[in-house]
């Protein structure tokens, strides 16, 4: 093994023909690869000097075996020079800025200094094509310059004026190379070639082509014993064939036309060998029609060498499967399928203290028959690092050999710490540490309350699990990234974990207004919570004990909690009626007892969760996690107590409402027509800064918007809290009153870019309308509801409006994703130093005080160091 070396400097330059020949171990002249016996041809593309890929053979250059030989370059002598596609830009620039006869830059030293700056102040620009006027006269030799045309991918030509006509003269790569050779070294420096000794411009025109070692283009042997060559080898075969033919024709003195054709063909093959996706060049294809993957394609893009192979990382001790919900788990836990738990292991060092336990684990073997069985192990590791596989036959023998100093790789078992992750990992809560719970089934199970931080749902989402292998890793996982420590989001300082969907609906149904439960009912609701005893019954009637719904909820609250706030269902009345609120939206908790108000999204929901927030501040993370666990269990029981469903007939209204809705829509339509009439009569007064048309459009939109809202109100009057959709909208569980309006009342105006739909045929949206018609239905107003059904024109307009939404989300996600990526790349590795400054790893200051106020949002009360409102509420037990 060579000793590691420190890199002193890196030199960037072009490979000169001399260097290519020097590093070459073999000149390649035959296009064939293997002979009939499967042995490589000497001087063929698979020459044994270029390295070996077949086991058993030895490299002729370094005499090493296939696994050790790194491979060696060969070379092909090209019959005529060809252009390297990667440098066409540079070639074009050099042709345009240098003289065609003397090779000097077409500028006087004074002109150069103007752009580049003086000798000692080299901070100026580089010379560019724009600095040289076209077709000027060389200031050095006085030669008239010609215009250089460049045609993609690799054709250069000079424009000569002959008899008043412009004629293009093609420049061959040999001509170009001759011109490049003439450019003196000093003139290259202001052009941006700072080290002409390592990057002479004529080296961009290839006269000799390096042949990469076989190790970077290995052939694979198919199942039927046939050899299949790498794409690069195919391309090199093409190049050698044409090169050979070119040489033969040249020696035989073939006509100029044929030579030119062959030259162009050779250029094409070398071009596609470098980059098979150049503009203006048909990609070279495999026999099957698939475009070949050549040099540039290996490097470029997401799966290329850089992003795919070098910065790409994969890990062991990880697993991935579909997720599904289980409200009976704690948010701290994750349900792991037995099959996964039997495969993923944790190494445990054997000591005198745990030897008996680990021997038993080894005896349990590699198969755990059911989730309740104790965990087993797959391997044991001896002190000499030998791994012994545990299998059915050797369990006892291996177990008896175990001594302190050995390591047992035991299976996962309940209570182990694992990391759980869902992509895209956009914030730190995308990876959290959970406790394992081994379960039957094939999916990872998680409490639906932890969906928001992962942004997960159960429509087929998959998640990853990682098993920390060391004590340190497990300690860090538990202390820093466990679910419990991540309830508060650093984004807004509030709880990101909390009730969603059914939790909110359920807890709303439970706590709304006043209900009384008998003992068995109350116990049914509280069965899965951690309650230890029931409070005294709220009332006793005819010898039967009753507990109120608010008492049932209060059981899971911490004892000394005092809070006052408005629920989601609060309508923000001018004068709050407090406890007497008819919506029961005034929440008041006194010494851990819910006195009044309905618990809903504001109280326990993810992103809002006022109660959760207060418990964290006053009782700590652990108590808050327990509260969330109890809350999810209680709410699911509560929603099951009455049952909760939504069907098509929940959108039905009565005859009266339908009549009213029709009336409203008819009036709106008439109003629109009336305004159009005013406009057509020229009587419409434009609003400031708007044209008359814009004013009319705004008025129409306003009238129709109002009409839609009115239908919603009419529908809302009929549908009360008994309606599931209303309940979900009011409690904040899902959906809004607008959704309900559109289902039962009227869908309303469809818009594209905030305006009514105007595009389509000449002066009309559809042939169903008269030209120039401005009425509501001709421009995308849908007066039906989803329940009632749309007519064909309405359906079409709806599709137009819906499409805009889809396009918007598609564009937005990709753009914001890229913005986020750039931001994260710029901010990664920053840290808050002990003096409160935000610094880079180099100690450079980014912010003089973290967030300008030096405050951690998760440890402050909305920016204030002290939560005054919370303290006042808990001491006065009154609203602050």
Partner 1 sequence: MSTKLNVLKHDMVPDHEIMSEEEVSALLTTYNITTEQLPKVFHDDPAVKVIGAEADDVIRIIRVSHTAGRAESFRLVVKRPKK
Span from 560-568, 629-637, 822-830, 848-856 in contact with partner 1 (CB under 8 A)? 848-856
Span from 63-71, 121-129, 400-408, 627-635 in contact with partner 1 (CB under 8 A)? 121-129
Q: Which of 473, 846, 871, 872 binds partner 1 (CB under 8 A)?
A: 846
The residue to which tokens 């047992």 are assigned: 408
Residue 199 CB, nearest distance to partner 1 (Å)? 19
Contacts of 838 (CB under 8 A, 6+ apart): 830, 831, 832, 845, 846, 847, 850
For residue 876, state whether it binds partner 1 (rule: CB under 8 A).
no
Count Cβ neighbours within 10 Å for each residue of 606-636 and write b for 16 or more, e otherwise: bebbbbbbbbbbbbebeebbbbbbbbbbbbb
For residue 401, state whether it binds partner 1 (rule: CB under 8 A).
no
Q: Which of 86, 124, 493, 775 binds partner 1 (CB under 8 A)?
A: 124
For residue 865, state whether it binds partner 1 (rule: CB under 8 A).
no
Nearest-Å Rg of the Cα atoms of the chain is: 39
Q: Which of 117, 139, 493, 870 binds partner 1 (CB under 8 A)?
A: 117
145 and 106 Cβ atoms separated by less than 8 Å:
yes
The residue to which tokens 């959709």 are assigned: 725
For residue 126, state whether it binds partner 1 (rule: CB under 8 A).
yes
Residue 255 CB, nearest distance to partner 1 (Å)? 49
Number of residues that bind partner 1 (CB under 8 A): 22
Nearer to partner 1, 125 or 694 (CB): 125
Q: Which of 819, 845, 875, 876 binds partner 1 (CB under 8 A)?
A: 845
Q: Which of 328, 855, 869, 871 binds partner 1 (CB under 8 A)?
A: 855
Report the 3 state secondary structure along 261-283.
HHHHHHHHHHHHHHCCCCCCCCC
Strands (E), 273-317: none
For residue 834, state whether it binds partner 1 (rule: CB under 8 A).
no
Nearest in space to 379 (alpha carbons), one of 362, 397, 394? 362
Nearer to partner 1, 369 or 863 (CB): 863
Q: Which of 3, 575, 835, 866 binds partner 1 (CB under 8 A)?
A: 835
Nearer to partner 1, 191 or 433 (CB): 191
For residue 125, state whether it binds partner 1 (rule: CB under 8 A).
yes
- Residue 306 DSSP class: I
Nearer to partner 1, 752 or 846 (CB): 846
Q: What share of the chain is helix, strand, coil (3-state, %, to 5)?
A: 40, 20, 45
Span from 97-105, 119-127, 457-465, 712-720 in contact with partner 1 (CB under 8 A)? 119-127
For residue 666, state whether it binds partner 1 (rule: CB under 8 A).
no
Residue 97 CB, nearest distance to partner 1 (Å)? 17
DSSP code string of 50-103: G---STT-B-TTT--BTTT-----EEEEEEEEEE-GGGHHHHHHHHHHB-TTT-
Count how many residues are written for the chain: 880
Other CB atoms within 10 A of residue 83 CB = 24
Residue 702 CB, nearest distance to partner 1 (Å)? 33
Contacts of 212 (CB under 8 A, 6+ apart): 71, 73, 232
For residue 841, state whether it binds partner 1 (rule: CB under 8 A).
no
Q: Which of 4, 682, 754, 843 binds partner 1 (CB under 8 A)?
A: 843
569 and 585 Cβ atoms separated by less than 8 Å:
yes
Nearer to partner 1, 117 or 705 (CB): 117
Residue 845 CB, nearest distance to partner 1 (Å)? 6
Do strands 431-439 and 333-337 pair parallel, antiparallel, or not at all (unpaired)? parallel
Residue 871 CB, nearest distance to partner 1 (Å)? 22
Residue 843 CB, nearest distance to partner 1 (Å)? 5
User: How far is the C-alpha of 43 from the C-alpha of 26, rounded, in Å?
Assistant: 7
Q: Which of 849, 856, 859, 880 binds partner 1 (CB under 8 A)?
A: 849
Q: Which of 306, 492, 795, 848 binds partner 1 (CB under 8 A)?
A: 848
User: What are the beta bridge partners of residue 333?
Assistant: 435
- Residue 40 DSSP class: B
Q: Which of 3, 9, 118, 123 binds partner 1 (CB under 8 A)?
A: 123
Measured between alpha carbons, how far is residue 39 from residues 215, 234, 667 in Å?
16, 18, 91
Helix axes 655-680, 692-718, angle to 10 degrees: 170
Which residues form the interface with partner 1 (CB under 8 A)?
117, 123-126, 835, 837, 839, 842-849, 851-855, 863
């Amino acid at each position: 093994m060579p000793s590691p070396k420190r890199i002193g400097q890196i030199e960037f330059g072009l490979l000169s023909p001399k260097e290519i020949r020097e590093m070459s171990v073999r000149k390649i002249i035959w296009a064939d690869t293997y002979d009939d016996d499967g042995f490589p041809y000497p001087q063929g593309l698979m020459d044994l000097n270029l390295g070996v890929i077949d086991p058993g053979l030895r490299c002729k250059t370094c005499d090493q075996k296939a696994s050790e030989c790194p491979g060696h370059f060969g070379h092909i002598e090209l019959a005529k020079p060809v252009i390297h596609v990667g440098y066409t830009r540079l070639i074009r620039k050099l042709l345009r800025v240098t003289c065609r006869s003397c090779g000097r830059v077409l500028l006087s030293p004074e002109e150069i200094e103007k752009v580049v700056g003086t000798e000692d102040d080299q901070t100026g620009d580089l010379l560019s094509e724009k600095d040289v006027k076209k077709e000027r006269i060389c200031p050095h030799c006085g030669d008239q310059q010609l215009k250089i045309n460049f045609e993609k991918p690799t054709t250069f030509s000079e424009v000569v004026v002959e008899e008043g006509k412009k004629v293009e003269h093609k420049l061959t790569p040999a001509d170009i190379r001759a011109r490049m050779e003439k450019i003196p070294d000093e003139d290259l420096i202001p052009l941006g070639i700072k080290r002409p000794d390592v990057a002479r411009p004529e080296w961009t025109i290839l006269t000799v082509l390096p042949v990469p070692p076989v190790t970077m283009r290995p052939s694979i042997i198919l199942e039927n014993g046939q050899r299949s060559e790498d794409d690069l080898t195919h391309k090199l075969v093409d190049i050698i064939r044409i090169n050979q033919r070119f040489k033969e024709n040249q020696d035989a003195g073939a006509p100029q036309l044929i030579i030119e054709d062959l030259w162009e063909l050779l250029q094409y093959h070398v071009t596609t060998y470098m980059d098979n996706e150049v503009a203006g060049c048909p990609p070279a294809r495999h026999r099957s029609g698939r475009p070949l993957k050549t040099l540039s394609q290996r490097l470029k893009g997401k799966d290329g060498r850089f992003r795919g192979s070098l910065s790409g990382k994969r890990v062991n001790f990880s697993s991935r499967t579909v997720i599904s919900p289980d409200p009976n788990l704690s948010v701290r836990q994750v349900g792991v399928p037995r099959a996964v738990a039997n495969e993923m292991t944790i190494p445990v060092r054997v000591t005198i203290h745990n030897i008996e336990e680990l021997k038993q684990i080894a005896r349990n073997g590699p198969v755990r028959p059911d989730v309740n069985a104790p965990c087993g192990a797959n391997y044991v590791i001896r002190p000499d690092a030998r791994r012994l596989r545990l299998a059915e036959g050797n369990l006892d023998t291996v177990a008896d050999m175990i001594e302190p100093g050995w390591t047992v790789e035991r299976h996962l078992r309940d209570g182990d710490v694992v990391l759980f992750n869902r992509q895209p990992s956009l914030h730190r809560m995308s990876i959290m540490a959970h406790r394992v719970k081994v379960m039957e089934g094939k999916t990872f199970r998680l409490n639906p309350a932890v969906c928001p931080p992962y942004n997960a749902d159960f429509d087929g989402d998959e998640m990853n699990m990682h098993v920390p292998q060391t004590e340190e890793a497990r300690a860090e996982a538990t202390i820093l990234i466990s679910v419990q420590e991540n309830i508060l989001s650093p984004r807004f300082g509030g709880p990101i974990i909390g009730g969603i969907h059914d939790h909110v609906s359920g807890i709303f149904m439970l706590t709304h207004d006043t209900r009384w439960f008998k003992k068995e009912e109350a116990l049914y609701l509280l069965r899965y919570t951690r309650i230890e005893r029931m409070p005294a019954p709220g009332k006793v009637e005819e010898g039967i004990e009753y507990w109120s719904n608010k008492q049932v909820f209060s059981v899971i609250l911490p004892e000394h909690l005092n809070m006052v706030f408005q629920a989601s269902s609060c309508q923000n009345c001018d004068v709050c009626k407090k406890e007497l609120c008819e919506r029961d939206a005034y929440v008041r908790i006194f010494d851990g007892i819910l006195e009044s108000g309905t618990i809903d999204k504001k109280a326990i929901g993810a992103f809002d969760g006022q109660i959760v927030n207060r418990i964290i501040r006053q009782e700590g993370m652990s108590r808050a996690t327990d509260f969330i666990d109890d809350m999810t269990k209680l709410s699911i029981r509560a929603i099951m107590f009455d049952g909760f469903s939504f069907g098509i007939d929940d959108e039905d209204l009565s005859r009266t409402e339908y009549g009213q809705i029709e009336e409203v829509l008819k009036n709106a339509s008439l109003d629109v027509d009336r305004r159009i009439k005013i406009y057509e009569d020229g009587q419409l007064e434009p609003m400031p800064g708007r044209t008359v048309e814009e004013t009319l459009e705004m008025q129409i939109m306003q009238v129709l918007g109002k009409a839609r809202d009115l239908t919603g109100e009419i529908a809302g009057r009929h549908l009360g809290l008994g309606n599931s959709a209303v309940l979900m909208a009011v409690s904040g569980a899902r959906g809004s009153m607008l959704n309900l309006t559109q289902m039962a009342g009227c869908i309303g105006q469809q818009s594209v870019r905030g305006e009514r739909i105007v595009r389509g045929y000449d002066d009309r949206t559809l042939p169903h309308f008269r030209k120039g018609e401005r009425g509501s239905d001709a421009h995308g107003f849908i007066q039906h509801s989803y329940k009632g059904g749309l007519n064909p024109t309405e359906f079409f307009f709806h599709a137009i409006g819906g499409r805009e939404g889809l396009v918007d989300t598609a564009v937005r996600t990709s753009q914001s994703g890229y913005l986020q990526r750039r931001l994260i790349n710029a901010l990664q590795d920053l840290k808050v130093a002990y003096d409160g400054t935000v610094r880079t790893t180099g100690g450079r200051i980014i912010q003089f005080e973290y967030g300008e106020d030096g405050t951690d949002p998760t440890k402050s009360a909305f920016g204030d160091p002290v939560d005054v409102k919370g303290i006042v509420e808990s001491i006065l037990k009154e609203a602050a």
